[in-house]
Structure 1
Amino acid sequence: MTFEDFELDYDLLDGIDAMGYRNATPIQEAAIPLILQHKDLIACAQTGTGKTAAFVLPILHKIITTEVKHINTLVLVPTRELAQQIDQQIEAMAYYIEVSSIAVYGGNDGVTWEQQKRALKKGADIIIATPGRLISLINMKAIDFSQLQHLVLDEADRMLDMGFSEDIDRIVKELPENRQTLLFSATMPPKIRNLAHKILKHPEQINIAISKPAEGIIQQVYFAHDSQKEALLKQILGSGQYKSIIVFASTKEKVKSVYQMLRRTDMTTAAFHSDLKQEEREQIMQQFKNKNISVLVGTDVLSRGIDVTGIDLVLNYDVPPDPEDYIHRIGRTARAATTGTAITFVNEKDMYRLAAIEKLMERRIDPVPLPEVLGKGPEYRPDAKPQRHSNNKRSFHKKPGNWPHKKSS
């Protein structure tokens, strides 16, 4: 199905064509007609399927065919990176039409804060906002939602995971009841269905390949002890097979450690974590997009909210604690029907996490033998159980008689 089939505005189609869009993805094919029909929508789709365009395109079409020119659409997102990404995509799609947008998020300087307030007072057509910063603006009465037509919650599952449930409730109370509400989520746990029940009216539902990675991703695992990971990483990245690489680690301390190790090689490397200032993070991301940096080492903040084409390899230095995070991590490669590779290092403690990932995807991930020079790695044990760690000097067995008792008074 082509975008012409949706009968969108001709100037909007010019912008889509300039971006190289030709045929609609499954989520776009299913969602765009429903949004154009003013239906509330709950859509479950994996990352990298084109869901941003699925809601942006019909909303842009509706904005330019209506006489209301105030704040028309609010898009709520969990992170500043995703807010910036969506703002950039709107700017590209709306290149030939008169629609304005602004990304509103925290962690920036006073100048940016004032720019955001001025843009909101002028009445940007589309606001893409993180919940915390938006509530600050609401408290200052710096924003008028009286003419709002559309509310979009993107990556709603991650917003709830990050503790934004009360913020979302507060924001929704400020919005007109007569609006179209669109909820997009990668997963559909009960808490998302409860949220949808509260804020959507008779929604249509779309499910596109829930919790399944893109077909173009080649998935591999190496069973490696922690002591083998650095040498293995150097060997994989030093092969010259991959040009644009993201290395994920689960903590910013691990990110810094891997970054320092890779700095001693001839690969251009940057670390991306929460200790960096916002302008530093934006500069790093731009350099990575421009291919001036070949290896980006980061935490799960990178797994959502960035849209970089041509990433050859996603490498999990350690297994993410949540199987869904694995899906989002590897979704950074093989975007827009391209191909890519996802490699995961699994130590003896993370066997159970790998088993949970395989259960979620309903498939095994192909193991790759370690290079002989590194020696033998741990054996795969799909029945492995989580290992409990305690900082206490004493440990207690789960027998009633071994639990500590209070002293009697």
Structure 2
Amino acid sequence: MKHSPNAAQLFTSLNLPEALTQNLASMAYHNMTDIQAAALPPALAGQDLIAQAKTGSGKTAAFAIPLLLKINPRDFGAQALILCPTRELSTQVANEIRKLARYQQNIKVVTLCGGQSIGPQIGSLEHGAHIIVGTPGRIKDHLRKKTLDISRVNTVVLDEADRMLDMGFMEDLQGIVAQTPSQRQTLLFSATYPDDIEALSRQFQQQPQRVSVESHHDDAVIEQQFYLCEKSQRFESVYKLLNAYAPDSAILFCNTKQYVRDVCKYLNDRGVSAAALHGDMEQRDRDQVFVQFKQQSCRFLVATDVAARGLDVDELPMVINVELPRDPAIYVHRVGRTGRAGKEGFALSLCVDSERYKLDAIADYQQREIEFEVIEQVADTLADLSPSVSTLCIAGGRKQKVRPGDILGALTGEAGIDGKAVGKINVLDYVAYVAVENKLADKALGRLINGKIKGRKFKVRKL
């Protein structure tokens, strides 16, 4: 069914347990998003679901609320399995579920992803887990080692199923889902509907209810502009647009890993603070780039679609399509990362003559006329594109019991740094990152190197 937004629908209209409704209210979840209003009633009724929804639409709550209601807290066997394409998305989904699950005690969520040591994951599973969130490759590893039992799972969620298929996970998904009971609820979420999503649904689902929310973007929220340039001008045109618009931050999308590297090198050579994000990078390096971008010590991220999955930035003023994708649904997905929560966003796209067919496809998909300018019409200016903060990397994280407050205390206490000069603090398992205003970054670095955090010395470096 096609769901069109109507008057705000309240979570209180769903007849949920009082404790859950109160917890949702404490998270400022009052009105359902379009995908939640469309997906929750059939999902709560136990139906299988194919839902078309993009990142940032509130889809996690749309599948997490129904699966949480079926969890038996006294049974520490795996009762729900959520498969995601990347570690970043898995972590984000697991964190959201933990918040939603606060209304009941002792619900254990375990994240199983590659790029991390398998030993601690096995240890976590030995203590039991109600909900498993992870990537297909690592879930398959645990099933092979018999460290994970999914024979009693009652809900399977395939999140961003189109991306998992793009990444070649079809066989892994088939092997994993085959080990769950045939009498289960299967919820499939996808931003696009290629043919293989249909095939996946036929294989895994029983009479699924289809829900789809409007995926076109309102020009009042996202301004889309297209610029025609020569193929040989593409890098120079990106540089020109960044200087002309000077956004606080932006994601620059390319279609291939090599093009990401080339664009990033071009910008870096011109003194622009840009970082590359693509699938060939080590997980540690990807984590570092994610954090620097979120902390804004790196203003511009040059990325492929697959690598950018799971990167959820609340306030992203601009997206630039260095290359237009072949699939107009991917264009819509990229553009949907800006202009969230009612804020205005810009989506700028470069196009060469031989790619006019892509513009036509986007126009058909969005059911709108597309106008474009030639890049020469953009004024030549030089803006300050440098970041205002630097990121300090501390060789200690959650596993060393380091908390954000400890880092803030070390900087503002003994180090004497003004708290206003300290930005975002991100603590991961074995490493922590803190943003500090540029003018005080070296002072903060020196104080942390020579001082202590929580009474202990840690190695610290400036990225």
1:214–1:43 CA distance, 2 compared to 1 (3 A):
farther
| Distance (Å, rounded) in 1 between the aligned partners of 2:378 and 2:327 | 32
Kept in 2, the 8 Å contact 1:36–1:62? The answer is: no
Q: Deviations over 1:153-176 (max 9, x none)?
A: 112223223332222221121111
Partner in structure 1 of residue 91 of structure 2? 84
Q: For residue 63 of structure 1, give the secondary structure of its aligned residue in structure 2.
A: coil
Q: CA deviation at 1:138?
A: 0.9
1:144 to 146, 149, 153: 149
2:252 to 247, 255, 261: 247
Q: For residue 174 of structure 1, give the secondary structure of its aligned residue in structure 2.
A: coil
Partner in structure 1 of residue 338 of structure 2? 333
1:232–1:161 CA distance, 2 compared to 1 (3 A):
closer
Partner in structure 1 of residue 369 of structure 2? 364
| Distance (Å, rounded) in 2 between the aligned partners of 1:18 and 1:284 | 32
| Distance (Å, rounded) in 2 between the aligned partners of 1:195 and 1:251 | 26
Q: How does 1:210-225 map to 2 (within 5 A)?
A: 212-213=216-217, 216-225=221-230
The one-letter amino acid paired with 1:304 is: R
Q: CA deviation at 1:303?
A: 4.5
| Distance (Å, rounded) in 1 between the aligned partners of 2:55 and 2:199 | 22
| Distance (Å, rounded) in 2 between the aligned partners of 1:299 and 1:254 | 9
Partner in structure 2 of residue 235 of structure 1? 240
Partner in structure 1 of residue 68 of structure 2? 60
1:265–1:9 CA distance, 2 compared to 1 (3 A):
farther
1:165–1:282 CA distance, 2 compared to 1 (3 A):
same
Q: Deviations over 1:278-299 (max 9, x none)?
A: 0111122122223332111111
CA RMSD of aligned residues (A): 2.5
Q: For residue 182 of structure 1, give the secondary structure of its aligned residue in structure 2.
A: strand
Q: Deviations over 1:336-379 (max 9, x none)?
A: 4433111110012222222222222222333134244889xxxx
| Distance (Å, rounded) in 2 between the aligned partners of 1:124 and 1:24 | 29
| Distance (Å, rounded) in 2 between the aligned partners of 1:284 and 1:142 | 32
1:14–1:356 CA distance, 2 compared to 1 (3 A):
same
| Distance (Å, rounded) in 1 between the aligned partners of 2:186 and 2:218 | 27
The one-letter amino acid paired with 2:306 is: V
2:298 is aligned with 1:293: yes
| Distance (Å, rounded) in 2 between the aligned partners of 1:296 and 1:81 | 16
Partner in structure 2 of residue 396 of structure 1? none
The one-letter amino acid paired with 2:137 is: G
Q: How does 1:10-29 map to 2 (within 5 A)?
A: 10-29=18-37
Partner in structure 1 of residue 277 of structure 2? 272
| Distance (Å, rounded) in 2 between the aligned partners of 1:315 and 1:368 | 15
Q: How does 1:189-208 map to 2 (within 5 A)?
A: 189-208=194-213
1:89–1:203 CA distance, 2 compared to 1 (3 A):
same
2:166 is aligned with 1:161: yes
1:263–1:189 CA distance, 2 compared to 1 (3 A):
closer
| Distance (Å, rounded) in 1 between the aligned partners of 2:374 and 2:162 | 36
| Distance (Å, rounded) in 2 between the aligned partners of 1:186 and 1:28 | 15
TM-score where L is the length of structure 2 = 0.73
Kept in 1, the 8 Å contact 2:75–2:130? The answer is: no
The one-letter amino acid paired with 1:59 is: L
Partner in structure 1 of residue 434 of structure 2? none
| Distance (Å, rounded) in 2 between the aligned partners of 1:46 and 1:258 | 26
| Distance (Å, rounded) in 2 between the aligned partners of 1:2 and 1:288 | 34
Kept in 2, the 8 Å contact 1:73–1:148? The answer is: yes
Kept in 2, the 8 Å contact 1:76–1:152? The answer is: yes
Deviates more, 1:276-285 or 1:365-374: 365-374
1:68–1:8 CA distance, 2 compared to 1 (3 A):
farther
Q: CA deviation at 1:219?
A: 1.2
The one-letter amino acid paired with 1:82 is: L
For structure 2, the residue ranges without an aligned partner over 5 or more in a row are: 1-8, 381-463
Kept in 2, the 8 Å contact 1:46–1:212? The answer is: no
| Distance (Å, rounded) in 2 between the aligned partners of 1:139 and 1:117 | 12
| Distance (Å, rounded) in 2 between the aligned partners of 1:344 and 1:274 | 23
Q: CA deviation at 1:152?
A: 0.6
Kept in 2, the 8 Å contact 1:303–1:329? The answer is: no
Kept in 1, the 8 Å contact 2:250–2:320? The answer is: yes
Kept in 1, the 8 Å contact 2:80–2:154? The answer is: yes
Partner in structure 1 of residue 355 of structure 2? 350
Q: Deviations over 1:308-338 (max 9, x none)?
A: 1100111011112332321222122123443
The one-letter amino acid paired with 1:99 is: I
1:240–1:217 CA distance, 2 compared to 1 (3 A):
closer
Among the aligned pairs, what percent are the same residue? 39
The alignment of Structure 1 onto Structure 2 pairs a total of residues equal to 370
Kept in 2, the 8 Å contact 1:214–1:334? The answer is: no
1:338–1:4 CA distance, 2 compared to 1 (3 A):
farther
